[in-house]
Structure 1
Amino acid sequence: MSKQVKAWGATSPEKTEPITITRRAPDDEDVGIDIKYAGICHSDIHTVRSEWREISYPLVVGHEIAGVVSTVGKNVTRFKVGDHVGVGCMVNSCRQCSNCHDGEEQYCSSNLVLTYNSKDPKDGSITQGGYSQYIVVDQAFVLRVPESIPLDKAAPLMCAGITLYSPLNHWNAGPGKTVGIIGFGGLGHMGVKLAKALGSEVTVFSQTNSKKELGFQLGADDYVATSDPDVFSRLSQKFDIIINTVSAEIPLDLYLSCLRRDGTLVQVGAPKDQLRISPHSLYARRIGVNGSMIGGIAETQKMLDLCGEKLIFPEIETIPASYIDEAYERVMKSQVQFRFVIDISTM
């Protein structure tokens, strides 16, 4: 049967507060999850503030979810009660299109169902996210969290982790490859850790050197301040892959000058304005500019298994639910090192 649960929802673009939501009854393929922790992603803030598209309030956001299985449907074979699991940015897809068949459900061309603010095909309701005590998800979109990963640190891996792992995996980061990470925040610091774990040489591009020491502690081989006028000439044609995690307009042609022949710049940040690039920056050395959006379920599980094996965890600040609005303001001001995680028990 359906279940009433406590949640923390946006009731306007300016405010989140305690609310009660209804979770649908689990069907034979579903897993019921008691949520323990939920990470705060920049996308949550954009959505709450209707900056990407109009939403209907109240809405519960959150797609970095870690918890414990509390119930399973009769056809569920992959999980049992008590398992540590996670849920990321999507909770269903059409499962019929070529992208879904290829294990790239995040690019579903027919009916990608996001963890919040999408239409749930199972009951027609609007999906509600992880700032809540409990969620029901089809087993095909539930991820197993290795025992070596604490649940509070597992939560941000469901979005921040896979958002950086997927392009590193797709463009074959590894031994002998040089990787540049633009930005050293919630996404960027995971890019450093993951690229290093894969065997690449890693450089951080940041506006200043204020986090330089921390960058080296987390695995960076080099850390440069883009305010230094000589940095781009010094790093000319050095990198195989550069991943841009920032959501602001930056002079991309300067970064493209740092790519080797056939190098790739991958955009994962989500700026409001269009990217500006000179065609000369591309054809001079057969440069590619690409985008990437999370990863499929199999790839996300591969990332979690790597993190469990190598003990790769995000740097987090755990907060009570009552602090969400303040946390949003700090995220917008880049005043967090590096990811806020909500302790759901505080609801």
Structure 2
Amino acid sequence: MITAKARAVDGPDKPFRAAEINRRDLDSHDVLIEIKYAGICHSDIHTAHGEWGPVNYPLVPGHEIAGIVTDVGAEVTKYKVGDRVGVGCMVDSCGECVNCRKGEEQYCLKGNIQTYAGVDKYGEPTQGGYSTHIVVTEGFVVRIPDNIELDVAAPLLCAGITTFSPLNHWGASPGKKVAVIGMGGLGHMAVQIAHAMGAEVTVLSQSLKKKDDGLQLGADHYYATSDPETFEKLAGSFDLIINTVSSAKIDMDAYFALLTLDGTLVNVGAPGEPLSLNVMSLIGHRRSFAGSMIGGIRETQEMLDFCAKHNIFPKIEVISADQIDEAYERVLASDVKYRFVIDTSTI
């Protein structure tokens, strides 16, 4: 077994503490990665706080992982020692179902194996990126382009792919009007990606305090949703709306009214409580309400290459491992521009 240093949490209301965890010895197709940076995702907070169901504590969160390959299994062909690589929200899947064969491993019919809070094929609980090392089968590792620094690469492995995938799937492109609900860790990535795809981009945020940032990142328009006139002015405007909000209840019907005929609202934020809607908001204009979860490995690599080509990088604040609890509090208070990234050398 390989011993790694980590930061773990022992319960929903417990602080993070220093820990040691075991990583499995390398199988023939495994890659050992020395983690350099790990992003903090709102999913980490939901899971650490037990908001998405029972958790097998102690838990080491983290599924935005960027690092360097330090060892490979005997039959590994994709990577070699020294390669710059990343790991996102999943570390394995069945590889056999129709969705896996299509390269949509995130929708594995048998359930993909989550990077943390899951159970791997050996029957062991998975532990995530708030640690110094991780062992992952090569098929679930992606290559980080040379012009993306490892610290800014980390959030791309969740925030980047979570927004790229629906924009790609629903065809954000020239001539399309795209709205992004929320200007946070996910939202600020969606703005940049949609802009690079050629769409006309509007940010719908609770206030205008981040307007300058939104416009600088590529938004064409920026509106405050706290202003009732926003919903009157923008009624029937958008071909596609990406909802990145995961921590606040919103009036879904009000946002459906902003869609054009045949428009789609896609939820990528994952609130801890159910959303409610009036189906008449959809029926009236043949609108669609959809969901999207990360992306497959092939699409994740496509996203990284796209971001490298268009110089799309998350805005980050690098912190030490001792600041994780404070960072969680600040995320919940929307006090971050726009993603915390842990320097794992401080673990």
TM-score (norm 1): 0.98
1:184 and 2:173 matched:
no
1:106 match: 106
User: What's 1:289 paired with?
Assistant: 289
Relative to structure 2, which stretch is displaced further, 142-151 or 272-281?
A: 272-281
Distance apart, 1:213 and its partner CA = 1.0
Distance 1:344 1:79 in 2: 22
Alignment deviations for residues 236-257 of structure 1 (CA, whole Å, 9 cap, x no partner): 1111000111122111111111
User: Does 2:24 match 1:27?
Assistant: no
- The residue identity in structure 2 corresponding to 1:73 is G
> Deviation of residue 276 (structure 1)?
1.9
Task: Please tell me whether residue 91 in structure 1 is matched to residue 97 in structure 2.
Answer: no
Q: How does 1:101-250 map to 2 (within 5 A)?
A: 101-121=101-121, 123-247=122-246, 248-250=248-250
Deviation at 1:46, TM superposition (A): 1.1
1:306, CA displacement in angstroms? 0.3
- Give the stretch that moved more between structures: 134-143 or 43-52: 43-52
Distance in 1 between residues matched to 2:213 and 2:112, nearest whole Å: 38
Moved more, 136-145 or 107-116: 107-116
Q: Which letter maps to 1:327?
A: A
CA distance in 1, matches of 2:63, 2:179: 26
Between the aligned partners of 1:7 and 1:73, the Cα distance in structure 2 is: 23
Local SS of the residue matching 2:91: strand
Alpha-carbon deviations, 1:118-177, whole Å to 9, x = none?
Answer: 1111x3211110000000000000000000100000000000000100100110111111
Q: CA deviation at 1:339?
A: 0.3
Deviation at 1:65?
0.1
Distance 1:51 1:228 in 2: 31
In the alignment, the residues of structure 2 paired with residue 267 and residue 4 of structure 1 have an alpha-carbon distance, to the nearest angstrom, of 38
Tell me, what secondary structure is at the counterpart of 1:273?
Answer: coil
What secondary structure sits across from 1:230 in the alignment?
A: helix
- Give structure 2 stretches of 5+ with no counterpart: none
- CA distance in structure 2 between the partners assigned to 1:77 and 1:274 by the alignment: 44
SS in 2 for 1:286: coil
- After superposition, the C-alpha distances for 1:197-223 in whole angstroms (9 at most, x for unaligned) are 111110000011111111111111000
Q: Name the SS for the 1:232 alignment partner.
A: helix
Using the aligned pairs only, state the percent identity.
58
Aligned position for 1:41: 41
SS in 2 for 1:12: coil
SS of corresponding position for 1:118:
coil
Q: Distance in 2 between matches of 1:22 and 1:182?
A: 40
| Other structure's SS at 1:4 match | strand
Alpha-carbon deviations, 1:273-311, whole Å to 9, x = none?
322222221111100000000000001110000011111
Question: C-alpha distance in 1, partners of 2:50/2:274?
Answer: 19
- Counterpart amino acid of 1:339? R
Q: Which moved more, 1:190-199 or 1:52-61?
A: 52-61
Distance 1:326 1:279 in 2: 40
1:120 & 1:227 partners in 2: Cα distance? 44
- Quote the Cα distance in structure 2 between the aligned partners of 1:227 and 1:4: 50
- Aligned pair count reads 345
Query: How many angstroms apart in 2 are the aligned matches of 1:163 and 1:107?
Result: 13
- Secondary structure at the aligned position of 2:213 is classed as helix
Partner of 1:263: 263
For the aligned residue pairs, the C-alpha RMSD in angstroms reads 0.9
Question: 2-side partners of 1:303 and 1:184: how far apart?
Answer: 20
SS of match in other structure, 2:10:
strand
CA distance in 2, matches of 1:61, 1:275: 26
What is the identity, as a one-letter code, of the residue corresponding to 1:20? Answer: E
CA distance in structure 2 between the partners assigned to 1:184 and 1:150 by the alignment: 23
Instruction: For residues 311-347 of structure 1, give each alpha carbon's deviation from its aligned partner in whole angstroms, at most 9, with x where no partner exists.
Output: 1000000000000011011111111110000000111
Helix, strand or coil: the match of 2:173?
Answer: coil
What's the offset of the Cα at 1:269?
A: 1.1
Distance 2:281 2:51 in 1: 31
| Post-superposition offset of 1:54 | 1.4
Structure 1 stretches lacking a partner, 5+ long = none
Q: Distance in 1 between matches of 2:179 and 2:277?
A: 18
* Structure 1 Cα separation of the partners of residues 10 and 258 of structure 2: 45
Contact 2:10 2:58 survives alignment (8 Å): yes
